[in-house]
Structure 1
Amino acid sequence: MYTVAAILSIIQHDDRRIYDEEQEISELAYDSRKIRKGANSLFFALKNVRDGHLFIADAYRKGVRSFVVSRKDIDFASYGDANFIVVRDTLSALQELAGFHRLQFTKPIIGITGSNGKTIVKEWLTQLLQPDKKVYQSPKSYNSQLGVALSLWNLSAEYDYAIIEAGISRPGEMSVLENMIKPDIGIFTNIGLAHANGFASKDVKLKEKLCLFSNCDTVVFASQYGIRSLLPAPTRKFSYGQEESDSVHILQTYEKGHGKTAIQIAFGEEVATLTVPFQDKASLENALICVTTLLLLGYPLKTVGHRLSALRPLDMRLQLKKGKNNSSIIDDTYSNDLASLQIALEFLYQQRQYKQKTLILSDMEGLNEHLRSKLASLMELQQLDRTILVGKGIFFLEAHIKGEVLLFETTEQLLGALKDMSFGNETILIKGSRAYHLEDVSNLLSAKSHETVLEINLKALEHNLQTYRSMLPPDVRMMAMVKAFSYGSGSYEVANLLQFNKVDYLTVAFADEGAELRQHGIELPIMVLSPDERAFETLVSYQLEPEVYSFRVLYALLHFLTARGIEDFPIHIKIDTGMHRLGFLPEELTKLSEVLQHSRQARVRSVLSHLAAAGSATHKAFTEEQIRLFVDSTAFLRERLGYDFIRHIANTSGIAGWPSAYMDMVRLGIGLYGIDMSGQLSLEAVGQLKTTITQIKELPAGATVGYDRKGVLQRDSRIATIKIGYADGYDRRFGNGVGEMSINGQTVKTVGSICMDMCMLDVTDIFAHEEDEVIVFPDLLKAAETIGTIPYELLVNISSRVKRVYFYD
């Protein structure tokens, strides 16, 4: 722990308001929603998309009494028993503190950067070193300006090595990370296209990444990337590759079958053949980086070979899956350490769909007395209904956990007991070390479904939300569209993330959709676009707010509300300014205002319209006229009604191109899910539709494939049958070579007609095996254009029988 007095001596500051300089600080906080131990937290009011100063009061209510701020207009007197440190830049202050803490760590720090493979190499190195070393690793993908600082804060003396990942997206960032990490050993994975749009050229990006190694003793790298001459002269260059000058000289590589690869290497005077349990290029590169690093650290070739053969593929994503008996499963079973456990617990508490929370936790490797104490302190803060502990090494936690606690010495014992245990209507976090194979528990508790899956990246969705938020003035509200099963991405899972990120409104198409969200813990205001008269009872019961677009709907709703004695029920008035789909025409507003003036049953919460062509430069004048007409119409209604309401007309395209349309609130739709129709934004793909190869056949030229023999082979071919068809939402128009999919990074075309549950691909020219993964839409925009439709249609048509798997990187 640090005292406030010590922190004052570490970070540069312009002013201070100190109540208790002896307060002990053990936690760094930047998000008031995630505070669990307020009394020992130092809150940094970061200025990002949202100004952290706006959440000081919330952090104070949660027990925080020490703050680092950059604004001097805070009413310090309102927080009389709190400490305030005033700095120029709060993120820089956080990095300064983390950098100081790093210097207290005297064991070797390994810093990893590169375009791809950073997290895999970090995880594999940890796995390879753990049999005889205690290894600290930065959690998940915490490699950003903030993530690195938070990672370094958890360093402590009991570790033999620390492995810290560093990632950048624009010039100037790596020097800041290097100043914090100060790695003793550097690892460079590769250089590729990731974040390429943030740099003027590939060379610029490469030089920026290499800044991490400015003061390294040794750098590990592949000679094929040509960085040797770019590294500082005093640095020891420890490379692998096919050049005789490489420290680890690759003599030959060949496939061994069963997914394995043999690599013959020369190291010093020794020659050995290592077996790697992978065949794809990326995994081989990552494995060789790990081999080279272990040899640098002095491990014998025989030991390296033995440990290498035990490597397994890592699904390093925290996954949210539908469980049996109306439950949600959070699967985070690939690693188990204090930092990643805390992140997973935070994600557990974000889930509001079920009140009951269950944790299944395995023993951790390398727990000494200090780490046991930290783990106990963490568990004492949790509000869990049930905790299941696996492994004798963590049974001591029973005394530190509130709620029901069950103990199992082995995973096998737990699996045997599960059939007699009651699970349902709860969210279950499964967190375990790989040695305990808790993925078997996850598989048993998860709902089974069709093997084709739609993976939803919740972190990407969060990124897209913040991208659009960053374009808005602080006083403009955000309404998020979750209609049509959130554009195919799921229902309450997406809504829950949006609620956690404090959007102001959600929108659904039908009342039943809103009712389901309410049943799963969504408390945000919800607007219903198409209220049916038969659904009025649902609207009232679940506090849903209808869009009213015609006198028919308005009169029916008022009659319903009158019969039930309800007053001031919130409604949203739709005006037709040119879309000509739904809404009151401008000439109907006088009559509308008269009806509303004489009605106590309803109160206008907002007035909205819809831009018909905001994404088209051709129709700029039309959009301007829509905005003008909307402004005039809302001004008229405000005057006639005598009270204010929210105005919103800007859709996703309107946010990107029409600041004059922001008004009081904007409606974010398809852009939230990673589709940028403007082509101007750096959005991230949210959904990835995947399936697998069921069978591969060798067929001669002239053979036909599929119904009506439409797939005629012009050559001897290898044809793969995969597990997706039009019943899953894969359009029949993609048949006969129109559709393209990706296998092992290589593009292939469909053959023959699309079947109900399957379709066929020509894999003659690529490397593919049965059970290989298939990416159904490598490029969603291109796929939509190919069959003359839009991405919306492809997304919403993905069948509900396709299993949705959510993950949060």
Structure 2
Amino acid sequence: MTFTLQNIIPVIDAKSAKNLPEFSIENISIDSRSLQNNQGTLFFALKGHNHDAHQYLENLIEKGVQFFVVEYIPENLKDKAHFVVVENTLKALQQTSIFYKNLFHFPMIGITGSNGKTIVKEWLNFLLSPDFTIVRSPKSYNSQVGVPLSIFGSNENHNLGIFEAGISTSNEMENLQKIIQPKIGIFTHLGNAHNEGFSSISEKIDEKIKLFKDCEIVILEKNDSIEKLLPSQTITWSFTDKNATVFGEKENSKNGFTNIVITHNNNSFEVEIPFQDEDSLSNAMTCVCTLLYLKYGTDVIAERIKNLYPVELRLQVKKGINNCSLIDDSYSSDYQSLKMALDFLEQQKLHQKKTLILSDIFQSGLPLQELYQKVTSLIQNNKIDRLITIGDTIGNYLKDIPNIISFSSTQEFLQQFNLNSFENETILIKGARSFDFEEIVVILEEKNHETVLEINLDAISYNLNFYKSKLKPETKVMVMVKAFGYGNGGYEIAKLLEHHKVDYLGVAFADEGIELRKAGITLPIMVLNPENSSFNAMIAYDLEPEIYSITGLNAFLKVAQQRNISSYPIHLKIDTGMHRLGYEPNEFERLKAIIKNNNFIKVESIFTHLAASDDVAFKEFTLNQIRLFTEAFDNLSSVLNHKPIRHILNTSGIFNYTNYQMEMVRLGIGLYGVGNSDEENKQLLNVSTLKSIISQIHTIEAGESVGYSRKYIANKQTKVATIPIGYADGIRRAWGNEKGYVLINNQKAIILGNICMDMLMVDVSEITCKPGDEVIIFGEKPHVKEIANVSFTIPYEVFVGISQRVKRIFFKN
């Protein structure tokens, strides 16, 4: 197979490609931070509303990358590497992936829909892999960038592709259709996701079905309004409409299984699906239809369908034993997803020492020798300190890697390996499902009770980029990670923000900044409320203090003189109306006399805090604060030989007063998915979901009571579920006594009686549920804003109130 830079130049509409030597492309990259960038990399410098990869080309050249597709050549790099100049680098990436796809001639299955895409893809891979060598998009790589990157995982040994296509607005699907070129189309479900990107449901449908332009067949749930728009034949399924191509009749459900009688072409057969929820049954029916179209026998279909399994769609970061952190990717092992997981490991590592636990790798389509040579390169490039392999094959091919320990099975590893040897390291656990690596995760995970706070790192990235999209490219961003990241978690979120190259982190106290430094965070960190006694420690850990008083400034200067340091960065806070902390105008002359020609300190920034930027009713007050700040800055900076950074906008300030962004802004609660208006909230993704389980279910009679002080007395027979979470976990008692609720199986369960220290009770009389079922305490619904309103507080207080005993799980889709 030939894949060289010279091959693709004619197809990417190059404006300039001068004096290029022959170059065989080994790796396509768009991320300058990846450790997999090397001499065999072709780097596409993508530009967006709030990022420009051209800024990082010099760093890539230093790492050995020599070939770039760019929209412009930075002036200082013209003779330092080889550049292909195009009008649009994203379009060039997509055109390159089309060229690469056309090197192979195997059929493609293309999947779209509002949800269920990734699960159907993974299930089809499981169902078809005994008979095909399959390439598929890893995780949920279904975007304008994700799809082309996924295509580059193909090779000449694959004979089937399964790719998902996700869109969020019009004029996107046509690009993905040209890349995937599916012959079999699957429409999983039409829901409300991304409705805001379309003017109507019909426009959304019209856009999605563009994927099926050249399909031989489209598989979907019976839906006349969609079917009449499709350009090809269909196979439809239904549980209610017998006119569907495939009709499923649910017979019974027990022990977590559902028996369904399938009727197709006047023949009937039975399948046993190992799920009971409607979404899983729908996804399974889609898979049955696909197997029928591919002419699988009914016995084979029944045998394989009963072995379907829950799909974990996310890379999860968990707290491990002996001060370790775990990255749980224990359900898949293929080459493409290994590359993603290693990038995530580098991004999220909380310790310098990195350990990889890896099983045999399947579905690569490559000869074993070539596959494991590539894996060896990945491991070496990512500087893995210790490698533990599990499987009959992998250990033989990687035996020459330093610090490798090999086991033939998971059970052998658990029986023989000293688990206490894991200490102060980040461990990536990546294994094919058949190896049962979840047993390793259970053993290595720090034990907590069954209530967890899940933090969506993708949503944090999305919210960050939303606020950055309102800023000029040169405007710096400080992100607040104080109070344990607003209750969500400090280190992990700080690692993500460092990955996104924000300019500053903000913490409240020095000890928060010290913990971040100990976790390996190297970004500048500003301490907003430093105590004079902490100045020595701050200097030792390179933390930058906010100085808001003459007394504090003199105390810091005394420490600086004692330690004989110079030009130490400090940040001066001005009080313009918040009346909390900061210099007032009557102190400016004294302040100027101290900072003028002072070699011990450097005034890195001057700032103030807006008191009412969230409420447009106080616009005049806010504009007056901005005016006062501008005057104060001009006055104070006049005695300095440099211009400090100015910053005044907080989260709601960024949204409501974008024109006053100055040189830097401070992003706080908005990062975590909470805005200060309905309009702002519509633009943000939910970050945190607090989950628990049902511990027990009781049935009480009329007149019986629930909880302390008999605050709830039943007026009829009532089914009551107990949930192991209470006010010691951060659930406010004001949310109890039938004012608040939780979600169980997507249904509201009202909280009965007083919330206890460690438990709360809910009414499940009308909900089908059992002990062990998942309970949503807050998330998309109920949202923290709703809880805050009922509890007469604010979302900040709800977030930071979640106890540290609640386990945090960080995940990336």
Normalised by the shorter chain, which TM-score bucket?
over 0.9
Q: Distance in 1 between matches of 2:257 and 2:664?
A: 55
Q: Distance in 2 between matches of 1:267 and 1:217?
A: 19
User: How many percent of aligned residue pairs carry the same amino acid?
Assistant: 44
What's the CA shift for 1:678?
Answer: 3.1
Q: Distance in 2 between matches of 1:420 and 1:35?
A: 28
- 1:75–1:527 Cα change, 3 Å: closer
Spell out the pairing of 1:89-104 with structure 2 (5 A cutoff).
89-104=88-103
Amino acid at match of 1:780: V
What's the CA shift for 1:244?
Answer: 3.2
The question of whether the paired residues in 2 share the 8 Å contact of 1:604 and 1:645 is answered with: yes
2:382 equivalent to 1:378: no
Amino acid at match of 1:244: K
2:594 equivalent to 1:568: no
Cα deviation code 1:315-338 (max 9, x no counterpart): 221001111111110000111111
2:60 equivalent to 1:55: no
What's the CA shift for 1:74?
Answer: 4.3
The question of whether the paired residues in 1 share the 8 Å contact of 2:364 and 2:371 is answered with: no
Aligned counterpart, 1:802? 806
What's the CA shift for 1:366?
Answer: 4.0
SS at match of 2:398: helix
- 1:481–1:37 Cα change, 3 Å: closer
What's the CA shift for 1:745?
Answer: 1.2
Q: Distance in 1 between matches of 2:488 and 2:797?
A: 13
**Count of aligned positions:** 802
Aligned counterpart, 2:199? 200
The question of whether the paired residues in 2 share the 8 Å contact of 1:255 and 1:279 is answered with: no
The question of whether the paired residues in 2 share the 8 Å contact of 1:37 and 1:381 is answered with: no
The question of whether the paired residues in 1 share the 8 Å contact of 2:455 and 2:689 is answered with: yes
RMSD: 1.5
Q: Distance in 2 between matches of 1:420 and 1:358?
A: 13
Q: Distance in 2 between matches of 1:421 and 1:623?
A: 56
After TM superposition, the structure 1 stretch with the greater mean CA deviation from structure 2, 676-685 or 641-650, is 676-685
What's the CA shift for 1:247?
Answer: 1.9
Aligned counterpart, 1:788? 792
Spell out the pairing of 1:330-729 with structure 2 (5 A cutoff).
330-366=327-363, 369-370=366-367, 372-382=369-379, 383-399=383-399, 401=401, 403-419=402-418, 422-597=421-596, 599-681=598-680, 682-729=683-730
- 1:352–1:644 Cα change, 3 Å: farther
Aligned counterpart, 1:321? 318
What's the CA shift for 1:218?
Answer: 0.5
Report the TM-score, using the length of structure 1 for normalisation. Answer: 0.97
Aligned counterpart, 2:44? 44
Q: Distance in 2 between matches of 1:99 and 1:334?
A: 30
Q: Distance in 1 between matches of 2:93 and 2:419?
A: 49
The question of whether the paired residues in 2 share the 8 Å contact of 1:18 and 1:84 is answered with: no
2:82 equivalent to 1:83: yes
SS at match of 2:303: helix
Aligned counterpart, 1:743? 744
Amino acid at match of 1:61: E
Spell out the pairing of 1:125-204 with structure 2 (5 A cutoff).
125-204=124-203
Q: Distance in 1 between matches of 2:6 and 2:106?
A: 27
Amino acid at match of 1:358: T
Cα deviation code 1:373-413 (max 9, x no counterpart): 13422322421111001001212332463x30001000000
Amino acid at match of 1:793: E
Aligned counterpart, 1:5? 6
Cα deviation code 1:323-379 (max 9, x no counterpart): 111111000011111110000011111234211110000112345653641342232
SS at match of 1:629: helix
What's the CA shift for 1:248?
Answer: 1.1
Q: Distance in 2 between matches of 1:398 and 1:504?
A: 40
What's the CA shift for 1:561?
Answer: 2.2
Q: Distance in 2 between matches of 1:588 and 1:109?
A: 71
Q: Distance in 2 between matches of 1:557 and 1:97?
A: 57
- 1:400–1:162 Cα change, 3 Å: farther
- 1:618–1:94 Cα change, 3 Å: same
Cα deviation code 1:104-133 (max 9, x no counterpart): 222210000000111111111111112332
Amino acid at match of 1:53: H
The question of whether the paired residues in 1 share the 8 Å contact of 2:155 and 2:366 is answered with: no
Q: Distance in 1 between matches of 2:192 and 2:525?
A: 40
Q: Distance in 2 between matches of 1:670 and 1:132?
A: 50
Cα deviation code 1:532-573 (max 9, x no counterpart): 122122111111111111122222222222223233221111
What's the CA shift for 1:760?
Answer: 0.4
SS at match of 1:680: helix
SS at match of 1:25: coil
Amino acid at match of 1:756: M
The question of whether the paired residues in 2 share the 8 Å contact of 1:138 and 1:163 is answered with: yes
The question of whether the paired residues in 1 share the 8 Å contact of 2:35 and 2:343 is answered with: no
The question of whether the paired residues in 2 share the 8 Å contact of 1:35 and 1:59 is answered with: no
After TM superposition, the structure 1 stretch with the greater mean CA deviation from structure 2, 337-346 or 671-680, is 671-680
Aligned counterpart, 1:33? 33
After TM superposition, the structure 1 stretch with the greater mean CA deviation from structure 2, 694-703 or 193-202, is 694-703
Amino acid at match of 1:804: R
Q: Distance in 2 between matches of 1:345 and 1:475?
A: 31
Residue segments in structure 2 that go unaligned for 5+ positions in a row: none
Aligned counterpart, 2:732? 731
The question of whether the paired residues in 2 share the 8 Å contact of 1:376 and 1:400 is answered with: no
Q: Distance in 1 between matches of 2:224 and 2:425?
A: 49
Q: Distance in 1 between matches of 2:777 and 2:677?
A: 24
The question of whether the paired residues in 2 share the 8 Å contact of 1:656 and 1:678 is answered with: no
Amino acid at match of 1:337: D
Amino acid at match of 1:715: K
Aligned counterpart, 1:293? 290
After TM superposition, the structure 1 stretch with the greater mean CA deviation from structure 2, 640-649 or 677-686, is 677-686
Amino acid at match of 2:13: Q
Q: Distance in 2 between matches of 1:605 and 1:254?
A: 71
The question of whether the paired residues in 2 share the 8 Å contact of 1:548 and 1:572 is answered with: yes
SS at match of 1:107: coil
Amino acid at match of 1:276: I
The question of whether the paired residues in 2 share the 8 Å contact of 1:358 and 1:384 is answered with: yes
Q: Distance in 1 between matches of 2:553 and 2:136?
A: 59
What's the CA shift for 1:694?
Answer: 0.3
